[in-house]
């Protein structure tokens, strides 16, 4: 009864300004999320004359190469999920359940690969493990090997890079789930005689399913949609790579259309995986507010140093790209020696002082993107958490959808959707630099929405009502009660959006025109052009920017950033 009246009263009492705000948000979502996506599906189902046809898909599914790419992409996705699962789960349990030397330090180091943009990571690996990389040169010097070992070039190289880059996301998701499991569930198992591995398999592991699923989904979609890493190590028979290559060649219209078809397929597959995962998580939400923590167990003398050794090795491997990029950035004329012979800051000077636009563009565009994220995301979170406005469910679904869509597909969708001249100014959106902040904002909107939403949920409605009860106006209530309690969560979400925006390569590579180059674009083009030093110097700058942002996130939020990836 009360609910019904609140619902119907919802619109009647709502001031016109609120309704128009609500309308603006939907307009934004329709224009910049739904319309571009619809556009690539329209393209996928039509021919050059604009007539409906299934011929594009027929062509895809009869082409052996495309089918092999599809198969390879799925295989690579699942393989990465597997490797990151083993490492991620192992690290998460070790860190949360056991006591051993340098445990805290390792906890922080685990996060390090996250600040490493994937594009920079693969370059770093190539510098160290590539054909003419440090390791091969050393091996050839020491053992008189005639041919370098192929660590990097091929599917196994992609798997290696993706695994080392993505396992922290898995670890964080598991940590988040694990910290919500009530310890007495394990004690109850202990009482009835479930020991060690058996208890872990039957009780503990199943209880972390929700976190595991969201982590696995993130890893899968990331790998599935990444085209930069495979390209750098020379792998082309993957779906995302095919989409990219088909689009960037502007010669053959047929092939161009196939690029669109492939990105439509990427979107569909990603959505299917999200739906399956969501369904699975929804029926298995076991989180409870754990009233106590499971006490950490001391590892035995051998086991503890084994743990340090394993984690140490893992961290060493994850640090390879950083070392490689730094060496390449300061090494003058580095080739055919294990380490640079001469050192220089020339590359840094070239990419910062001589050509400042990479850094400036990155900061400005990512900054504007975060501003858009806040302007759209915070009200969205507020609508979802605080009102009974119709369409809240669709908003939630849209945020999840955005998380699932590969950057490649969004980039392509924007090219297709916004290359028409706008009515009043006769310029297409794709010809204006604002399209870059826009696409970045849309890509990273979910982080802002989610963190704001969960912060808002923490402020119980009755706290606001209590303030209004003692005479605070709606505005005073927001300023004095709600805002102080939620700003941290919102800031964390915004900073995360910033980190991810500044690293973004897949969506922006397509859209970047002369003068708009951001750092990842610079890295990519310098590398492809053979200017490895400049690419590496930009990589180092990008790492530093991300590290500073992550440091701030950590200072603000503690280490509790796991929930963002759900």
Partner 1 sequence: MRIAISNLTKRFGALAAVNAVSLTVEEGEMFTLLGPSGCGKTTLLRLLAGFYTPDAGEIRFGDRVVNEVPPHERGIGMVFQNYALWPHMTVTENVCYGLKLRRVSASDMAARARAVLDKVGLTGLGERYPGQLSGGQQQRVALARALVLNPLMLLLDEPLSNLDAKIRVQVRSEIRKLQKELGITAVYVTHDQEEALAMSDRIAVFNLGSACQIGPPKALYERPANRFVADFIGINNLIDGTVTTVGGQEGGLRAVTALGEIGAIHDGRLRAGDRCVICIRPENITLNSGTGNGKNSFSGRIALSAYLGNTLRYDVEVGGPTPFKADIGDPWHHEQLAIGTPITLSCTIGSTLAIPVD
> Smallest distance, Å, CB 562 to partner 1?
20
Nearer residue to partner 1 within complex by CB, 99 or 202: 202
Contact pick of 185, 317, 432, 556 for partner 1 (by CB under 8 A): 185
> Smallest distance, Å, CB 96 to partner 1?
18
> Smallest distance, Å, CB 174 to partner 1?
16
Q: Where are the beta strands (DSSP E) in 253-395?
A: 297-298, 331-332, 342-343
Degrees, nearest 5: CA angle 459-286-485: 15
Residue 354 has φ and ψ, to the nearest 5°, of -70, -45
> Smallest distance, Å, CB 188 to partner 1?
4
Under a CB-based contact definition with an 8 Å cutoff, are residues 40 and 51 in contact? no
Nearer residue to partner 1 within complex by CB, 58 or 298: 298
Q: Considering only residues 49-108, where is the footprint of partner 1 by CB under 8 A?
A: none
Nearer residue to partner 1 within complex by CB, 281 or 485: 281
How far the first Cα of the chain sits from its last, in Å, is 34
> Smallest distance, Å, CB 99 to partner 1?
16
> Smallest distance, Å, CB 207 to partner 1?
7
For residue 284, state whether it binds partner 1 (rule: CB under 8 A). Answer: yes
Under a CB-based contact definition with an 8 Å cutoff, are residues 23 and 225 in contact? no
For residue 188, state whether it binds partner 1 (rule: CB under 8 A). Answer: yes
Structural tokens at position 319? 């640090």
Contact pick of 141, 187, 465, 468 for partner 1 (by CB under 8 A): 187
User: What's the rounded Cα separation, in Å, for the pair 306 and 49?
Assistant: 65
Nearer residue to partner 1 within complex by CB, 194 or 326: 194
Task: Kindly report the number of other CB atoms within 10 A of residue 560's CB atom.
Answer: 13
391 by Cβ neighbours in 10 Å (0-12 / 13-18 / 19+) ranks as middle
Find the length of the chain.
Answer: 566
> Smallest distance, Å, CB 349 to partner 1?
57
Nearer residue to partner 1 within complex by CB, 105 or 188: 188
Nearer residue to partner 1 within complex by CB, 188 or 309: 188
Binding mask 189-228 for partner 1 (x = CB under 8 A): xxxxxxx--x---xx--xx-x-------------------
Q: How big is the site for partner 1, counted in residues (CB under 8 A)?
A: 22
For residue 182, state whether it binds partner 1 (rule: CB under 8 A). Answer: yes
Nearer residue to partner 1 within complex by CB, 10 or 183: 183
For residue 315, state whether it binds partner 1 (rule: CB under 8 A). Answer: no
Contact pick of 46, 150, 184, 554 for partner 1 (by CB under 8 A): 184
Please report the DSSP string for 475-517 in residue order.
Answer: HHHIIIIIHHHHHHHHHHHHHHHHHHHHH--HHHHHH--TT--
Please report the DSSP string for 530-558 in residue order.
Answer: T-HHHHHHHHHHHHHHHHHHHHHHHHHHT
> Smallest distance, Å, CB 89 to partner 1?
17
Nearer residue to partner 1 within complex by CB, 204 or 451: 204
Degrees, nearest 5: CA angle 198-201-207: 130
Which residues on adjacent β-strands are paired with residue 342?
A: 332
> Smallest distance, Å, CB 295 to partner 1?
9
Residues 6+ apart with CB under 8 A from 352: 359, 537, 541
3-8 own/partner pairs: CB under 8 Å, 24+ apart: 3/388, 6/388, 7/388
Nearer residue to partner 1 within complex by CB, 204 or 366: 204
Nearer residue to partner 1 within complex by CB, 1 or 192: 192
Residues 6+ apart with CB under 8 A from 257: 43, 48, 56
> Smallest distance, Å, CB 154 to partner 1?
40
For the chain, count helices (H), then strands (E). Answer: 29, 4
Contact pick of 52, 197, 250, 291 for partner 1 (by CB under 8 A): 291
Residues 6+ apart with CB under 8 A from 350: 534, 537
> Smallest distance, Å, CB 105 to partner 1?
25
Nearer residue to partner 1 within complex by CB, 193 or 530: 193
If DSSP codes are grouped into helix, strand and coil, which group holds residue 334?
Answer: coil
Question: Applying CB under 8 A, which residues contact partner 1?
Answer: 182, 184-185, 187-195, 198, 202-203, 206-207, 209, 284, 286, 288, 291
């Amino acid at each position: 009864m009360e609910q019904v009246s609140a619902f119907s009263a919802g619109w009647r009492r709502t001031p016109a300004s609120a309704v128009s705000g609500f309308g603006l948000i939907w307009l934004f979502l329709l224009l910049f999320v739904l319309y571009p996506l619809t556009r690539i599906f329209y393209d996928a189902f039509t021919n050059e004359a604009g007539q409906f046809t299934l011929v594009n898909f027929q062509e895809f599914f009869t082409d052996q190469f495309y089918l092999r790419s599809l198969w390879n992409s799925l295989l690579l996705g699942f393989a990465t999920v597997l490797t990151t699962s083993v490492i991620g789960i192992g690290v998460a349990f070790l860190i949360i359940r056991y006591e051993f030397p340098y445990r805290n330090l390792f906890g922080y180091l685990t996060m390090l690969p996250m600040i490493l943009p994937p594009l920079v990571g693969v370059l770093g690996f190539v510098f160290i493990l590539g054909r003419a990389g440090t390791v091969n040169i050393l091996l050839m010097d020491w053992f008189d090997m005639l041919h370098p070992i192929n660590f990097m070039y091929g599917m196994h190289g992609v798997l290696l890079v993706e695994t080392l880059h993505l396992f922290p996301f898995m670890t964080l998701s598991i940590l988040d789930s694990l910290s919500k499991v009530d310890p007495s569930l394990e004690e109850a198992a202990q009482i009835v005689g479930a020991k060690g591995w058996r208890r872990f398999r039957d009780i503990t592991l199943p209880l972390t399913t929700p976190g595991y699923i969201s982590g696995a989904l993130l890893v899968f979609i990331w790998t599935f949609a990444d085209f930069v890493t495979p390209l750098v190590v020379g792998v082309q028979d993957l779906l995302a790579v095919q989409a990219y290559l088909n689009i960037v060649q502007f010669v053959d219209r047929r092939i161009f259309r196939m690029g669109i078809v492939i990105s439509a397929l990427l979107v569909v597959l990603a959505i299917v995986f999200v739906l399956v995962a969501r369904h699975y998580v929804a029926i298995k939400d076991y989180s409870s507010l754990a009233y106590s923590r499971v006490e950490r167990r001391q590892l035995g003398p051998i086991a503890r140093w084994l743990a340090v050794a394993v984690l140490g090795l893992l961290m060493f491997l994850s640090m390879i790209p950083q070392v490689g990029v730094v060496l390449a950035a300061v090494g003058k004329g580095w080739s055919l020696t294990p380490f640079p012979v001469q050192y220089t800051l020339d590359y840094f000077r070239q990419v910062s002082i001589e050509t400042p636009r990479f850094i400036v563009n990155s900061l400005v565009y990512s900054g504007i993107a975060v501003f858009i994220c806040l302007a759209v995301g915070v009200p969205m979170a507020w609508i979802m958490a605080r009102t009974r406005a119709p369409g809240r469910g669709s908003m939630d679904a849209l945020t999840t959808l955005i998380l699932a869509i590969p950057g490649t597909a969004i980039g392509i969708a924007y090219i297709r959707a916004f290359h028409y001249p706008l009515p009043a100014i006769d310029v297409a959106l794709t010809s204006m630099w604002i399209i870059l902040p826009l696409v970045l904002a849309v890509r990273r909107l979910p982080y802002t929405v989610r963190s704001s939403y969960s912060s808002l949920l923490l402020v119980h409605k009755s706290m606001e009502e209590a303030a209004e009860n003692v005479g605070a106006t709606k505005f005073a209530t927001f300023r004095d009660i709600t805002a102080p309690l939620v700003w941290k969560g919102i800031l964390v979400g915004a900073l995360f959006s910033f980190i991810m925006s500044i690293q973004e390569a897949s969506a922006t590579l397509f859209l970047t025109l002369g003068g708009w180059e951001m750092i990842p674009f610079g890295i990519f083009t310098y590398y492809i052009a053979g200017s490895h030093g400049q690419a590496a110097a930009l990589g180092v700058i990008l790492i530093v920017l991300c590290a500073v942002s992550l440091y701030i996130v950590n200072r603000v939020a503690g280490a509790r950033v796991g929930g963002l990836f759900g």
